[in-house]
Chain A
């Protein structure tokens, strides 16, 4: 059965303290891996799509990477406004399957 596991469940960082969020997956026939950011009471906001192992994408302080088994979302020198829940999702076949998310809190 397809599975998506995100770790850690919650992460607290000081402003400027870089770190990484992990998304490990077991799916057959990966069509794409997606990262979203979700703020409380709002819908997820699209960040990145990764399609093949070795692919990397960057946006401001965020960088997403992909291997055959997992993806990392690296956050460099985070700011308090980066606080949110980050969701990883994989598309295999017809369904997009979401991980449980990592709740990131960045303290000033």
Chain B
């Protein structure tokens, strides 16, 4: 199956710093990439959708100036959490999809962010 990687797998940072998370599709070209957030024992919450070369579309309630998304190529998307605060601590998961919205998304392994 299609493989999606994320880096780093976990990160601990101080409050006020920025953290960048990378998401790569390793063996396919991802037309669309998605960023999700997941709290313990809860389901995935979509944060934003990005298409290569276009601005990301953010879900209601997600601050686009705080969660910067760049989808520079068909295999790479980055999420930067700017001026992170403890409430931003969460499990961030990206996914990638090739082609149309009839196709499945393939998920990365997730990044555990802890903000002290």
Contact = CB atoms under 8 A, between A and B. Distances in A.
- Indicate whether A and B interact: yes
Interface of A: 31-32, 34, 36, 41-46, 49, 51, 87, 91, 93-96, 98-101
Contacts of B107: 36, 43-46
Most A CB within 10 A of own CB, among B44, B103, B107 = B44
B54 interface: no
Given A43-B107, A43-B109, A98 B101 contact: no
Contact of A32 (B4, B6, B44, B104): B104
Interface in B38-93: 42-44, 46, 49, 91, 93
Contacts of B1: 46
B15 interface: no
B46 A95 contact: yes
A43 B49 contact: no
Interface of B: 1, 4, 6, 34, 42-44, 46, 49, 91, 93, 95, 101-110, 112
A51 B49 CA distance: 22
Given A36-B107, A44-B107, 9 more contacts: A31-B102, A42-B109, A43-B107, A43-B109, A46-B107, A91-B102, A95-B46, A96-B34, A98-B43
Nearest to A42: B109
A96 B43 contact: no
Contacts of A99: 43
Contacts of A87: 43-44
B101 A94 contact: yes
B43 A100 contact: yes
27 contacts: A31-B101, A32-B103, A32-B104, A34-B105, A36-B107, A41-B112, A42-B109, A42-B110, A43-B4, A43-B93, A43-B107, A43-B108, A43-B110, A44-B44, A44-B107, A45-B107, A46-B104, A46-B105, A49-B103, A51-B102, A91-B101, A93-B101, A95-B49, A96-B105, A99-B43, A100-B42, A101-B43
